[in-house]
Amino acid sequence: MSVIIAGERSGVGKTTVTLTLLASLRRRDRLVQSFKVGPDYIDPMFHQHVTGRACRNLDPVLTSEAYIQQCFALHSQVSEYALVEGVMGLFDGIGHGQEKQKSTDFASTAHIARLLDLPVVLVIDCSRLSGSVAAIAHGYQSFDPRIKIAGVVLNRVGSDRHLSLLKDSLERLQLPILGVVRRQDNITIPDRHLGLVPTAELPELNALIDRLADLGDTCFDWQHLLPLLKSEPLAHSSHPPHPPFFIRIAVARDRAFNFYYQDNLDLLQNLGAELVFWSPLEDAGIPKDVQGMYFGGGFPEVFAQQLAENISVRDAVKTAILKGMPTVAECGGLMYLCKQIIDFEGKSWSMAGVLPTSAVMGGRLTLGYRRAVALQDNLLLKVGTTVYGHEFHRSRLTLTPTQPLFETSRYDCEENMGCEGWGLPANVYASYVHLHWGESREIPQRFIKQCKS
């Protein structure tokens, strides 16, 4: 058993409510496993900071329905409590399936709730409504009979009188109120051009988490919530040990590069790779005795000056790649391998210079799931292989590759999104498309094979 924290739309406070629950549970020394619906990287960072356990993404586009069920079963059974944070509004998904049987809530929070047979706790933003709350709750309660709404959390409640009006309206529905969160002036998580500011950049984060825990201790109906959150740990609730490591892969992880799916890192380790975490911002060079490099996404544009000033690392990365070291670079990692990053103010900062193009920051957001077909054999994929990924960036490249990795299209329709991705030198895989390898073990297998050769 577990519950999914869902919103009636984006921006209602799902993440704040989820973190408040997690912080209060951890204050009680409870072992909690969290999950996040969708491709998001940043919310899971906050989950992990609170729980001390890697949050797992549940995304049927990037993986599959079966993988989601397996992932949830595996990780929820090694903890005392489990909690899933949804994405957007409860029924907000994407088109999927044949035209006559097309689903519009595929990959939505509701879809995951049905897959895992979990009840939903609905977060409602009450800041601009009173009696209408019942109509909203009733609509969500009755829209899909396969979804069980366990109760609601009333967020941004303004006063005792406001709460009384909300309760009176909801009484006829006999829908439990599992939490009441008053308007909070001292709890704000800063954001910027791609969402929340990551945890590594928030020096006051622990104080914020303490305030959330204080709030959580008093704002929830724990008597009803705890049984919903309770999972059933296995008697032998531990993961098998990793096999002996036979190669070392340098994984860039710092404030500039921190977008990684934990499942991808686990797969590399399970296949025999020792992951050596390092910082292109702070270190003087790449780690010694490594046979491969992995640069995830992140915010290199925010730290472009510091990256540019670390000349020894830039030179070491370029030298290693030109000597043939297999290197995976996704989104922010791709930007780091370019000649330059040109930031929002138009300032140019030198990068590793492996790719003959520059990344220019702009106001236009490129966002969405992608179907990508490999146009050539490359470091991770054979020609003709189809993969599904996600793009989320505000940069563009000044030069398109002459021999791109992929032809891409939107996931939910046939709209062509053009060709992208760099595979030259041949030991480089650089793409804006973020991939989850959970259903594509051949990807990390191929990467490790190239590192060994």
Report phi then psi at 147, rounded to 5: -100, 125
Catalytic, out of 71, 331, 338, 451: 331
Task: Tell me the HSE value of 162 on the side-chain side, using a 13 A CA sphere.
Answer: 15
Residues 381 and 317: their CA atoms lie apart, in Å, by: 23
Q: Note the Cα 194 to chain centre separation in Å.
A: 12
Strands 327-330 and 273-278, bridge-based pairing: unpaired
Residues 299 and 258: their CA atoms lie apart, in Å, by: 8
Active site residue 331: yes
Nearest to 196, CA basis, from 13, 360, 334: 13
Specify whether the CB–CB gap between 187 and 204 falls below 8 A: no
For the chain, the helix, strand and coil percentages under 3-state DSSP, each to the nearest 5: 30, 30, 40
Report phi then psi at 190, rounded to 5: -65, 150
Specify whether the CB–CB gap between 299 and 255 falls below 8 A: yes
Q: Environment class of residue 261 by beta-carbon count within 10 Å: exposed (0-12), middle (13-18) or buried (19+)?
A: buried
Residues 100 and 94: their CA atoms lie apart, in Å, by: 15
- Tokens 């959390």, residue located: 153
Specify whether the CB–CB gap between 278 and 287 falls below 8 A: yes
Task: Tell me the HSE value of 439 on the side-chain side, using a 13 A CA sphere.
Answer: 19
Residues 105 and 91: their CA atoms lie apart, in Å, by: 5
Report phi then psi at 359, rounded to 5: -100, 125
* C-alpha R_g of the chain: 23
Local structure of residue 414 (DSSP, 8 states): -
Residues 53 and 32: their CA atoms lie apart, in Å, by: 8
Specify whether the CB–CB gap between 402 and 360 falls below 8 A: no
Which residues does 31 contact at the CB level (< 8 Å), separation at least 6? 53, 79, 80, 81
Report phi then psi at 323, rounded to 5: -85, 0
User: Which amino acids are annotated catalytic?
Assistant: 331
